[in-house]
Amino acid sequence: MYLFGASGHGKVIAEIAEACQVKIDGFIDADTSKLKLLDYEVIHQLPRDAVEVIITIGDNATRKQVAIQNKFSTYSKLIHPSAVVSKRVKIKAGTVVMAGAVINSDTQIGAHCIINTNASVDHDCIIEDFVHISPNVALAGGVTIGEGTHVGIGASIIPGVTVGKWCTIGAGAVVIEDIPDGATAVGIPAKPIKFANR
């Protein structure tokens, strides 16, 4: 497996692959000053034999751009052995579930998502493509997170709330009502402070 993105996030994903005993062929990164990360070589072009790739880029929009540009690769998914994932959860290709995460029954996770360390995603949630659920986030039952949204570290979202597409939820926020597309929302209770159009 190749890891696309020689970053700190890439290091964490490499160690998940190691924990899963998945062979790492190396990192791919456009930055030619990067030659090695952890014990692995960094190459600067997608090799012809790159049959299995995970995009190890933390920024959701950049991850999507890379996924679109390299659509002929086969994307893998990785789930840390310490994560607890219900057998009734569906997870699409390219997604990584990190150490200690818990994902409960009938939740759906899209493609190229990050379910970060110790995140808790409860039953019947819908997590669309290119979402990042940061460390120690708690999503209650029936929460929907729209494409490309980043839920910041330690945020909590109460049952049934829908967060729109390409939102940012601030670190430590408590979300108690729906958040519209493109909003950055912070605080307790979380309120939008700005909007971006993508």
Ligand X SMILES: CC(=O)SCCNC(=O)CCNC(=O)[C@H](O)C(C)(C)COP(=O)(O)OP(=O)(O)OC[C@H]1O[C@@H](n2cnc3c(N)ncnc32)[C@H](O)[C@@H]1OP(=O)(O)O
How far, rounded to the nearest angstrom, does the alpha carbon of residue 186 sit from its chain's CA centroid? 20
Among the listed residues 44, 80, 112, 123, the single catalytic one is 123
CA distance 6 to 56: 7
46 binds ligand X (CB under 6 A): no
Q: Is 112 an active-site residue? A: no
Residues contacting ligand X: total by CB under 6 A: 13
156 binds ligand X (CB under 6 A): no
152 binds ligand X (CB under 6 A): yes
Distances (CA, A) of 196 to 67, 134, 144, 148, 157: 22, 20, 19, 12, 21
Look at the block and give the residue holding tokens 């700005």: 194
CA distance 93 to 49: 19
Q: 46, 153, 158, 174: which one contacts ligand X (CB under 6 A)?
A: 153
Token pair for residue 111? Answer: 């493609």
Lay out the site mask for ligand X across 89-128 (x = CB under 6 A, - = otherwise).
---------------------------x------------
| Catalytic annotation, residues | 123
Annotated binding site for substrate: 7-9, 58
